[in-house]
A and B are shown apart, each in its own frame.
Chain A
Amino acid sequence: MSWRQRWFPNGEWVLLVVLAGEILFFSAVAPGFFTLGNFFEMTRFSVELGLLAVALTPVIVAGGIDLSVGSMMGLAAVSFGAGYHAWHLALPLAAACAVLVGCAGGALNALLIAKLELPALIVTLGTFSLFRGVAEGMTQGAVNYTGFPSSFLFLGQGYLGGVIPTQLPVFGLIVAAYVVLLHRSVIGRALYAIGFTAQGARYAAIPVARRIGLVYLLSGLVASIAAIIYIAHLGQARSDAGTGYELDAITAVVLGGTSVFGGRGTIWGTLLGLFALAVLQTGLHGARSVAEKELQVKNSQVAVLCGAILAGSLIVAGTNVWLLRAVGAGSRGSDGHPSPAAPRRTVIAVMPKAKGDPYFVSCRAGAEEAARELDVDLVWDGPTSLDAAKQNELVENWITRKVDAIAVAVENRAGISTVLRKARERGIHVLTWDADAEPDARDFFVNQATAEGIANALTGEASRLLGGKGEFAIITGALSAANQNEWIAFIKKRLEDTHVGLKLVTIRPSDDDRDKAFAETQTLLKVYPSVKLMMAISAPAVPGSAEAVRQAGRKDVSVIGLSLPNINKPYVHDGVVQTVVLWNTRDLGYLAVYASALVTGNKLAPGARALQAGRLGQIEVRNREIILGAPMLFNRSNIDRFDF
Chain B
Amino acid sequence: MVKTHRREMSVASAITALALVLAVAAPGYFSGENLGDLFMASLPVLLVAIGMTLVVVTGEIDISVGSTFAICGVAAGILSKSGVPVWLASAAACLLGAVFGSLNGALVAYLGIPSIVVTLATMTALRDGLRWATEGAWVQDLPPAFQWLGLTQTEFPFVAAIVTVMLTSAFAWGLGHVAAGRAIYATGSNPRAARLAGLNTSAVKWMVFTVLGALTGLAAVLNAVRFNQIPSNAGIGLEMKVIASVVVGGASVAGGTGRVMGTVLGVVLLAAVGPALTFLGVSAYWERAIQGGIILVAIAAEGIRHPAYRRLASAAASARAQA
Contacts and interface: CB of A to CB of B under 8 A. Distances in A.
The answer to whether A and B assemble together is: yes
Given A126-B299, A303-B128, A314-B120, A508 B278 contact: yes
A523 interface: yes
Contacts of A523: 34, 37, 275, 278-279
B202 interface: no
Given A119-B247, A136-B289, A319 B128 contact: no
Contacts of A291: none
B28 A522 contact: no
Interface string B233-266: 1101100000110011000111000000000000
Contacts of A300: 132
Interface string A473-489: 00000010000000000
A133 B286 contact: yes
Interface residues of A, number: 72
Interface stretch (A110-118, A157-165, A223-231): A110-118
B128 A384 contact: yes
Interface in A489-523: 506-509, 511, 513-515, 518-520, 522-523
A524 interface: yes
A130 interface: yes
B158 interface: no
A579 B288 CA distance: 32
B308 interface: yes
Contact of B289 (A137, A311, A318, A357): A137
A168 interface: no
A255 B121 CA distance: 12
B253 A121 contact: yes
Interface in B275-293: 275, 278-279, 281, 283-293
Interface string B113-127: 110111011001100
A140 B117 CA distance: 36
Given A130-B293, A361-B137, A116 B121 contact: no
Interface string B134-178: 011110100000000000010000000000000000000000000
Nearest to B153: A551
Interface string A441-471: 0000000000000000000000000000000
Contact of A318 (B114, B247, B306): B114
B284 A133 contact: no
Contacts of A314: 117-118, 120-121
B131 interface: yes
B37 A519 contact: yes
A380 to B, nearest CB: 12
Interface in A110-151: 112, 115-119, 121-123, 125-134, 136-137, 140-141
Contacts of B111: 318-319, 322
B110 interface: no
A260 interface: yes
A377 B19 CA distance: 61
B33 A508 contact: no
A128 B228 CA distance: 35
Contacts of A509: 284
Contact of A513 (B236, B243, B244, B292): B236
Contacts of A86: none
Contacts of B296: 112, 123, 126-127, 130
Contacts of A522: 37, 41
A631 interface: no
Given A112-B300, A251-B120, A508-B278, A133 B114 contact: no
A540 interface: yes
A567 interface: yes
A361 B135 contact: yes
Contacts of B140: 566-567, 569-570
A344 interface: no
A506 B284 contact: yes
A357 B138 CA distance: 11
A260 B116 contact: yes
Interface residues of B, number: 71
A174 interface: no
Contacts of B41: 515, 518-519, 522
Nearest to B302: A118
Contact of A129 (B232, B234, B278, B292): B292
Interface string B93-133: 00000000000000000011110111011001100110110
Given A514-B231, A526-B31, A567-B138, A122 B295 contact: yes
B37 A118 contact: no
A441 B320 CA distance: 58
B183 to A, nearest CB: 21
A303 B126 CA distance: 12
Contact of B279 (A141, A361, A520, A527): A527
B299 A122 contact: yes
B203 to A, nearest CB: 20
B80 interface: no
A42 interface: no
Contact of B306 (A117, A307, A356, A515): A117
B121 A311 contact: yes
A315 interface: yes
Most chain A CB inside 10 Å of its own CB: which residue of B31, B136, B281, B312: B136
B300 A356 contact: no
Interface string A257-277: 000110000000000000000
Nearest to B286: A137
A388 to B, nearest CB: 18
A58 interface: no
Given A318-B112, A547-B228, A384 B288 contact: no
Given A130-B296, A357-B136, A526 B28 contact: yes
B279 A358 contact: no
B137 A358 contact: yes
A118 B295 CA distance: 12
A523 B309 CA distance: 38
Contacts of B120: 251, 314
A570 B285 contact: no
Most chain A CB inside 10 Å of its own CB: which residue of B135, B226, B232: B135
Contact of B308 (A115, A319, A540): A115
Contacts of B135: 356, 361
A569 B141 CA distance: 10
A357 B232 CA distance: 10
A194 B278 CA distance: 44
A299 interface: yes
27 contacts: A122-B299, A123-B299, A125-B244, A125-B247, A126-B295, A129-B289, A130-B288, A133-B291, A133-B292, A140-B283, A251-B120, A254-B116, A299-B132, A303-B128, A310-B121, A310-B124, A314-B120, A314-B121, A315-B113, A318-B117, A318-B118, A319-B113, A322-B113, A356-B135, A384-B131, A513-B233, A514-B227
Interface of A: 112, 115-119, 121-123, 125-134, 136-137, 140-141, 251, 254-255, 260-261, 299-300, 303, 307, 310-311, 314-315, 317-319, 322, 355-358, 360-361, 384, 479, 506-509, 511, 513-515, 518-520, 522-524, 526-527, 540, 543, 547, 551, 566-567, 569-570
Given A317-B117, A527-B278, 11 more contacts: A112-B296, A127-B292, A132-B292, A141-B285, A310-B121, A358-B138, A384-B128, A518-B227, A526-B31, A567-B138, A570-B140
